[in-house]
Amino acid sequence: MRWTRDHVYRFGGDPGRIFVMGHSSGAHIAAVLATDPRYLAAQGMSNTSLSGMTGLAGPYAAIPTSDPHMDEIFPAALGQRALPTAFVTGPPTLLAAGTADTDVDPRNSDRFAGVLRAHHDDVELKKYQGYGHDTMVESFSAGQNTVSAVLADVTTFIDGH
């Protein structure tokens, strides 16, 4: 993030308009970066350095799962300190989840949005009927024949902040 802030102007970017976005575990990482002050503080930054965060199908909350793979990624020993729901007050946030996601329960987005709202954070939650886990990120593929609702909503979110 610090490198991006310090060099974005070389690519025509604005260091005052940096957004983070991720899908699945990448959404978790983006959310922790945006809400847990330790990571940006280590680089002399704060979450006010971010203009916004977008999470696509992210595992933000401790929703029980029967998937041993998820238990490897998010071991119980890490507890709440590994979840963005433990850290709030971040930049404007867009959470996007597919209703047909069987890999990451969409209730993760519901729960994270609820925690952010309870702390008066600016959060928008979008659900996409029939979208699965992979469909969320495929919405950004150059192979799409049409502009997906997910891409349109992310673009609108960024343009609005």
Q: Which residue has the higher pLDDT, 141 or 14?
A: 14
Q: Is the pLDDT of residue 134 over 80?
A: yes
For residue 85, the model assigns a pLDDT of 61
The tally of domains found in the chain comes to 1
List, edge to edge, every strand of the sheet that includes 93-98: 19-23, 52-56, 93-98, 123-128
For 91-115, write each residue's pLDDT tens digit: 999 999 999 999 889 998 998 899 8
- Cα gap 60→101, rounded to integer Å: 14
CATH number, domain of 28, equals 3.40.50.1820
- Taking the CA atoms of residue 99, residue 105, residue 111 and residue 113 in that order, the dihedral angle to the nearest 10 degrees is -50
At residue 93, φ and ψ (nearest 5 deg) are: -130, 135
pLDDT, mean over the chain: 86
| pLDDT: which is higher, 74 or 123 | 123
Q: Could you tell me the pTM of the whole model?
A: 0.85
The confidence score (pLDDT) of residue 115 equals 87
Residue 87: domain span: 2-160
Higher per-residue confidence, 157 vs 83: 157
Confidence (pLDDT) at 54: 97
Tens-place pLDDT, residues 10-53: 999 999 999 999 999 899 889 989 988 888 999 999 888 999 99
